[in-house]
Amino acid sequence: MTESETGRVVEFAIGGMTCAACSARLEKVLNRQAGMQANVNLAAERARVRLSAAADEAAVVAAVAKAGFTAAVVDAQTREREKAAKLLLYRSEIRRFWISVALTLPLVGQMFFMFGEHGHMNELPRWFQLALATPVQFWIGWRFYDGGFKSLRGGGANMDVLVALGTSMAWGFSTVVTLFGLDQHVYFEGGAAVITLVLLGKLLEARAKARTSEAIESLIRLQPKTARVERDGQWIDMPVEALMPGDVFLVRPGESVPVDGELIDGESSVNEAMLTGESMPVGKRAGDKVFAATANGQGAMRCRATGVGEHTLLAGIIRMVGEAQGSKAPVQRLADRISAIFVPTVCVIALATFVGWWWYAGDFAEALVNAVAVLVIACPCALGLATPTAIMVGTGQGARAGILVKNAEALERAEKITVLALDKTGTLTCGTPQVTDVVTYGLSREEALGLAAALEENSEHPLARAIVAAAGIPTVNRKKAANFKSLPGQGVDGEVDGRVLRLGSPTWLGMADDPAVTGLQQAGKTVVVLVEGETRRALFAIADALRPTSRAAVERLRERGIRVVMLTGDNAATAAAIAAEAGIAEFRAGILPGDKAAAINELKSGGALVAMVGDGINDAPALAAADVSFAIGAGSDAAVEAADLTLIRSDLMGVVDAIALSAATLGKIRQNLFFAFIYNVAGIPLAALGWLNPVVAGAAMAMSSVSVVSNSLLLKRWRPGS
C-alpha cells in the first residue's frame, strides 16, 4: 500500500480471471465505483486501486465479488499463501487433466479406425461415447460453466462463455442423436477433445506465467531470515523483522547482510551483484553503506542498522518491480478495447455461421460443427497476455541488471527517446574530487603524495580528502605534521620529518602564472601546489573525474541516433573540458538549478522526446519535466522519487541498457500482439468457412496463449550490454 496526492493506492490479489475479457470487465466495473481508480493485470492476477476518502478496501472486495471474482488485500504473507494455494490447485488440475485424457482418448482414437468402406462398423457404441463424454463435459469442464455464469452475471462475457457454449452445443446435439437413434454423426469426441486441449493450454499457460514472476521471487528469496544483533554486550540471533533502526549487528565472512546499515568497524569486500548487476565485489570500510541481501566477503563487519523492514533498498526494489509489473503500457490500450467487445462479437459471428451454413448446405450438423469451431478458435486469452507477460519479464530482467522501472509507460517511451539531457556532476562524473595529475620536481610521485597527505590528514576539505585518498597510505603508516597551520582560502603549512612545507593555491604561493599551472587550469582542473621552503616540489591537479564508462556510453547513445546534451552549473571552461573528454558536442554551462527544468522544456519545444539523467536534489524539477527520466541510484531520494527509471549502479551505461531493455520489451509486445491477432484474424474466417475442425480449433486456441507467454519468456535471454 502506498500514499499519493489523490488517495491511497492499495494492491489486491484477484482470483477467478480466465482471460482478457475478465480483466477488462473487472477494470470497467471498479472504475465505475465512486472513489475508485483501478488497473487490473491479468498476467499478475493483481488489481491496483487508488482509493479516495469515499471508498475503502471492503468496498473494493464487495465490487469484485459482485463482478464474479475474489479479491484480497496484498500483504507480506499474500505471496506465500498464493503460492501454496496455486500449487494445490495446479496439482488438482493435473489430476483432472489426466482423467480427462483417459476419457477422451477412446473417443478420439476411434476416429483413426473409421476411415474406409466399413469405417462406421469401428465406431464405439454411442451410449458408451455418451458415458465417456458426459463427465468430461460437466465435471472436468465445470470450471467453464462456473466462470461463464459468473461472467454473464457480472454483465459481460469471457472465454469461458465461448468454450461452454461451443462444447455444450456439440454435446447436446450428439446426445439428442444418441437418445433418439437419429441417422446423424455424433461429435462427442469434438467437445471432449476441446475441453481437454483447453485444459492442457491452461496448465501450460499457468506454468509459463509462474516463470514470468521469477524475478520478484528470486529477490524475495535473497532476504535473510535472521541477524546477529548486539544486546547488552552479547551477540544473539534474532529474526530480521525484530530489528530496529540503530541496532548494531554483525556480518561474518560469507554471510548476507540482513538489513541496510552503516559500517562501524571492520573492513571487507561485499558482492552487490544482486543490486547493481556488477560481479566485482565492492570494498567497504568504516562509514560506508551496506545493503540487505548483499554477500559479505572475507572480513567481519560490525554495522548499525539504518533501514529495516519495508525501508531497505531491497524491499524498495521488490515494491517498485511489483508496481511496474502491475502497470499498463499505452500499447495495451488497443488490446483492452478489443477484448471488451470481443466475446459478444464472436457469438454473433458464430450465430451467423450457424444460420448461414444451415441455409446454404441444409445440414444442421455441419452448420453446428462450424459454429462450434468459431466459438472455440476465438479465445481472447493470448490478446490479454500479450503485453503484461512481456512487461513482467522485462521489468524483472531490468531489476536483475540494476534498472528499476517505475511504470510500464516509461519503459515504452524509453525506446523512443530522441534527446538525452545529462547532468554533469555525479552523472557523467564520479561526483567526488579526485587527483587526476601529479607533476613532481625532484621528488617521486609517491613521496610527493605522502608529504601532501601528512599536511592534509586532519582536514575535511574535499580537495584535502582527494589528496589523502590518492596517497593510499593507511592511517597508521602516515607521516605526522608538526607546527601545523591552516590559512582558510589559501592552504596549509607545517613540518614533516623536519622539512618545512606549504600546500595551497597557486596564487598564495606565487605560481598563478606558471605555464604548467595554467595549462591544467584550462583543462578545467583545480591545482594545488606543494612548496618546500621557496622551492616548488609538486603540482596536484584535482577534478571531478569522468566516470570510466561515460565516454563509451555517450558513443553508444549517439549510435542509436540520440542527441546528447550536457547541462551543468559549472563555468564554460570546465564544462567544455568535460564535454570534450566525454565526446559530447553540445553543452549548456552556468545553468542554475532552477533553470534546468526550463532547459528541458526548451529542448522539448521542437517536438523531441526528451529524457533527463540526474542524481541530485537540484535535478528533481528537470527530471519531473522530462518525458522520460533516469535517476542515478547513488543520488538523492528526491531525484529517485521524481524519476521514471532508477539506475542502482552509478553508471551512465545503465541508461544505454535501459533503452536497450525498452526496445527488447516493446519488440516482444509487438510480436505477441501479432501472434494474438493472427490466430483470431486467420482462425475465425477459416472456422466460419468450414475449413477448421473444432478439435484443431481447440488445439490452436490453446497454443496461442502458450506461444505468447513463451515468446515473452525469451526476454530472459536479454543481458546488459546487448
Residues classed as catalytic: 423
305: which 3 cell numbers? Answer: 542498522
**3-class DSSP state of 2:** strand
> Quick one: angle between helices 653-688 and 332-361, nearest 10?
10
Q: State the Cα–Cα distance between residues 43 and 327, nearest whole angstrom.
A: 11
In the structure, how many helices (H) and strands (E) does the chain have?
24, 27
**C-alpha torsion angle, residues 605, 610, 614, 618 (rounded to 10):** 20
Grid-cell match 566525454, residue found: 582
Half-sphere CA count of 348, side-chain side, radius 13 A:
5
d(CA 490, CA 528): 10
Please give the grid coordinates belonging to residue 609: 522526446
Q: Which helix (H) or strand (E) holds 137?
A: none
Residue pointed to by grid coordinates 461472467: 151
Cα→Cα distances 301→226, 279, 495, Å: 16, 20, 37
Beta bridge partners of 289: 262
Which sign does the torsion angle of CA 662, 713, 710, 704 carry?
negative
User: In angstroms, rounded to a whole number, what is the distance separating the alpha carbons of residues 129 and 175?
Assistant: 10
User: What are residue 303's phi and psi, to 5 degrees?
Assistant: -130, 160
- φ/ψ of 25, rounded to 5, equals -70, -45
Q: Are strands 419-423 and 563-567 parallel, antiparallel or unpaired?
A: parallel
Where are any strands of DSSP class E within 90-223?
none
DSSP strands (E only) in 21-178: 36-41, 46-51, 70-73
Tell the burial category of 169 from Cβ atoms under 10 Å away from its Cβ (0-12, 13-18, 19+): buried
Between CA 454 and CA 477 the distance in angstroms is: 10
H/E/C letters for each residue in 118-130?
Answer: CHHHHCCCHHHHH
The DSSP secondary structure of 338-392, one letter per residue, reads HHHHHHHHHHHHHHHHHHHHHHHH--HHHHHHHHHHHHHHT--HHHHHHHHHHHH
CA dihedral (76, 79, 85, 91) positive or negative: negative
Distance CA 350, CA 346 (A): 6
Question: Could you tell me where the beta strands, DSSP code E, fall in 166-233?
Answer: 226-231
For residue 538, CA distances in Å to 56, 71, 230, 459, 553 come to 70, 71, 48, 19, 34
563, β-bridge pairs:
419
| Cα three-residue angle 331-203-707, rounded to 5 degrees | 40
Residue type, 708: V
**Beta-carbon-side half-sphere exposure of residue 434 (alpha carbons within 13 Å):** 13
The cell numbers describing 25, all together, are 470487465
Q: What is the distance between the alpha carbons of residues 161 and 19, in angstroms, rounded to a whole number?
A: 11
Q: Answer for the pair 647, 623: CB distance below 8 angstroms, yes or no.
A: no
DSSP type of residue 662 = H
> Rounded to the nearest 10 degrees, how much is the dihedral formed by the CA atoms of 587, 592, 596, 598?
-110
Cβ(215)–Cβ(397) below 8 Å: yes
